[in-house]
């Protein structure tokens, strides 16, 4: 049932989802920071699974860098957008597969198949039951090669709780229940489970992987959308230098709107 709700939400908001990460400075912080860290860790051309990759913003960016991508997502309309964008960008040769499904079951792929796996921008938040999330995490790890890398970003529980209060234009009770459980049953946004860092670490604790780094993607600028979106390029670039020096501080990662975990499989 929750998978249907999530698919419906993204089918309805498909065009927004394609533009989401580049629509303004604030969302660019999420995208630019994620790309910065992927590029820091992946230096040569690789086979990468984009699990929950939606309309393919990261798939396309990574394909442009010469990587080979498999795009895997739950929502047909997002995958249709991705197909068209990939053709427009003439990147078909770098995309070996576009597949619809749930990453809680990646059995179509063998163990140790991908050099790297990315699961970004809240895709994992949308798996509501802890048991299913554990299944998804174990699948993401299983299909990653030994010595391969896994990048997972999620919405932080501590950052999200204040969001409706800051906006004041939506239901102020929106995330109140999420304070206790982290669970949000859906409304303005698709059903989600919001993470604390401790819980994220606990769900990813596994003998097969090491956590290399935790990164706050919006960092100290989290929830300062209105100000950040007024910055010109020069101010953004100035802030970027400070952002990179602060975004891996544990307190910054925990309270960032999204945080990214970078793991290496043993
Ligand atoms: C906020 S979008 C992020 C898309 C992309 N990763 C990005 O960062 O731009 C969340 C995505 O997760 C996908 N998703 C949610 N649950 C999923 C599941 N169980 N299996 C595969 N994809 C899922 C949705 O269809 C949607 O494309």
Please, is 138 exposed, middle or buried when counting C-beta atoms within 10 Å of its C-beta (0-12, 13-18, 19+)? middle
- pLDDT-above-70 percentage for the chain: 98
Residue whose CA is at the smallest distance from ligand 1 atom 15 = 123
Q: For residue 54, which atom of ligand 1 is closest to its CA?
A: 27
- What separation in Å is there between the alpha carbon of 91 and the centre of ligand 1? 21
> Cα Rg for the chain, rounded, in angstroms?
17
Q: Is the entire prediction scored with pTM above 0.85?
A: yes
pLDDT digits (tens, 9 = 90+) for 66-79: 999 999 999 999 99
Largest CA distance in the chain: 48
Spatial distance between the Cα atoms of 233 and 36, rounded to a whole number of angstroms:
17
Instruction: Indicate if ligand 1 lies below 6 Å from the C-beta of 121.
Output: yes
Instruction: Indicate if ligand 1 lies below 6 Å from the C-beta of 175.
Output: no
What are the chain's domains?
A: 2-265 (3.40.50.150)
- What separation in Å is there between the alpha carbon of 249 and the centre of ligand 1? 27
pLDDT digits (tens, 9 = 90+) for 132-181: 999 999 999 999 999 999 999 999 999 988 887 777 766 777 777 788 89
| pLDDT tier, 201 (very low <50, low <70, confident <90, very high otherwise) | very high
pLDDT digits (tens, 9 = 90+) for 137-148: 999 999 999 999
pLDDT digits (tens, 9 = 90+) for 80-103: 999 999 999 999 999 999 999 999
- Helix H segments across 56-196? 57-64, 76-88, 130-142, 157-160, 163-167, 178-181
């Amino acid at each position: 049932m929750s998978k249907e709700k999530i698919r419906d939400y993204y089918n309805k908001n498909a065009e927004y989802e394609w533009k989401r990460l580049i629509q303004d400075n604030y969302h660019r912080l999420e995208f630019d920071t994620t790309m910065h860290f992927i590029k820091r860790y992946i230096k040569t051309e690789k086979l990468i699974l984009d699990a929950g990759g939606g309309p393919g913003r990261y798939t396309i960016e990574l394909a442009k860098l010469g990587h080979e991508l498999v795009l895997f997502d739950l929502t047909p309309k997002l995958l249709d957008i991705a197909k068209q964008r990939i053709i427009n960008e003439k990147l078909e040769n770098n995309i070996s597969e576009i597949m619809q499904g749930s990453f809680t079951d990646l059995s179509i792929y063998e163990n140790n198949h991908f050099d790297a796996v990315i699961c970004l921008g809240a895709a994992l938040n949308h798996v509501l039951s802890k048991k299913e999330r554990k299944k998804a995490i174990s699948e993401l790890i299983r299909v990653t090669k030994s010595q391969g890398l896994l990048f997972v970003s999620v919405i932080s529980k501590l950052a999200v709780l204040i969001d409706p209060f800051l906006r004041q234009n939506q239901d102020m009770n929106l995330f109140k229940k999420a304070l206790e459980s982290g669970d949000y049953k859906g409304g303005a946004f698709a059903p989600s489970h919001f993470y604390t860092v401790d819980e994220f670490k606990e769900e990813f604790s596994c003998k097969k992987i090491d956590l290399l780094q935790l990164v706050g993607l919006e960092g100290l600028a989290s929830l300062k959308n209105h100000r950040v979106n007024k910055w010109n390029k020069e101010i953004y670039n100035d802030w970027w230098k400070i952002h990179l020096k602060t975004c891996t501080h544990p307190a910054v990662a925990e309270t960032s709107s999204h945080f990214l975990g970078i793991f290496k499989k043993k």
